[in-house]
Structure 1
Amino acid sequence: MSAYHLAQINIARAKAEMDDPVMAGFVARLDDVNKLADDSPGFVWRLQTEEGDATALRPYEDNRILVNMSVWETPEALRAFVYRGAHTDVMRQRKAWFERMPEMYYALWWIPVGHIPTLQEAKDRLEHLRTHGESAQVFTFAKLFPAPDAQDAKPVEGFADPCPAL
């Protein structure tokens, strides 16, 4: 068993404020999707406020950018949640609620088991990915780098399933 877990950040720019009718479908699904994540095999942690989600957090200057962060035991567990479960229904509707991001909007990185990443740490990783590309420090499902304690140090190309939002 690895001494590392996989952390992820993803951001999205909402088409409107959270209380706008255009966002009603997304808001209506939040509790269900969060519970789905919480109950998923391999789930460790997710960013949330006392309300149970992270939609009130605004870590970017743009007030319509929402952030999601979570930690998973393995890349396979995160991939199963993102691409193979009920979460895909929500992803298929993404274009109704969120604008297309002009640059990379998600990042993955390894953290020691027990570490909870900060929002600033996650933002820094995403910015590093945007500036320098994929590496063992930060990567995407397209080029999954192994945990630092893995026997095989080669990245896995094409780890992601096809995105259901496309």
Structure 2
Amino acid sequence: MKRRLAQFDLVKPKFPKCDPRMEEFYASTGYINGIAEKHSGFIWRELEENQPLLDQLWGEGYLYTLSLWRDVESLKDFLYNIPHKTLMRRGGDWFDPISHPRVVLWWVEEGHVPTLREAHSRLIQLYEVGPSHDAFDLSSCELPTVLY
């Protein structure tokens, strides 16, 4: 059975969307999403964010990305290559720090489309339990195959 990598990323903008200090970020999202969608490892991205549910789960003011990738290597290739890497370096200009993990990865069966509630559950699991085969991040994606 094939599996796919689900990816969830949560951010808290420092300023409202209409604030000129956020203009460069919002202007670049379409371009960056287009690059992601053309990547050979990209499968799917949620296009219509569920802001009411997001506000219910985390509180007001957050943004997120929920996507599917072929594997960890594909996601890393997209994230750490220009131009995405350039924008990631500017994250402190646009987003407040979050005191808990804000990115979570997990494996899903091919054909499964992850939900925002599922992402919330996985992120909470990563925060409360730590990295596991069910919820991990990029720094813990090479877990051993047998856990003792």
TM-score, normalised to structure 1's length?
A: 0.81
Instruction: Indicate the SS of the match to 2:27.
Output: helix
**What whole-Å deviation, never above 9, does each CA across 1:102-156 have from its counterpart, x for those lacking one?**
111010000001110011001110011111101111111111157xxxxx8269x
Q: Does 1:81 align with 2:107?
A: no
Partner residue of 2:135?
Answer: 138
* 1:113 partnered with 2:105: no
Q: Does 2:91 correspond to 1:94?
A: yes
User: Which residue number corresponds to residue 159 of structure 1?
Assistant: none
One of 55, 60, 64 as aligned partner of 2:61: 64
Matched residue count: 144
The 8 Å contact of residues 139 and 145 in structure 1, kept in 2 or not, is answered as: no
Moved over 6 A (4+): none
Conservation of the 8 A alpha-carbon contact between 1:8 and 1:107: yes
- Cα–Cα, structure 1 residues 20 and 7, in superposed 2: closer, same or farther, change >3 Å? same
> In 2, distance between residues paired with 1:81 and 1:57?
25
Q: In the aligned structure 1, how far is the partner of 2:86 from the partner of 2:142?
A: 28
| Selected match of 1:153 from 125, 136, 145 | 145
* In structure 2, distance between residues paired with 1:29 and 1:78: 19
Could you say what secondary structure the match of 2:133 adopts? coil
Secondary structure of 2:51's counterpart equals coil
In 2, the alpha carbon distance for the partners of 1:72 and 1:85 equals: 18
Higher helix share: 2
Sequence identity (%): 30
Question: Could you tell me how far apart the structure 2 residues matched to 1:154 and 1:25 are?
Answer: 45
Deviation of residue 64 (structure 1)?
Answer: 1.5
With structure 2 as the length reference, what TM-score do the two structures score? 0.90
Q: Report what 1:160 is aligned to.
A: none
Unmatched runs of 5 consecutive residues or more in structure 2: none
The amino acid that maps onto 2:132 is S
Q: Partner residue of 1:11?
A: 10
Which structure's relative contact order is higher, taking Cα pairs within 8 Å and 6+ residues apart? Answer: 2
Q: Which runs of 5+ in 1 are unaligned?
A: 147-151, 156-166
| C-alpha separation in 2, matches of 1:145 and 1:124 | 21
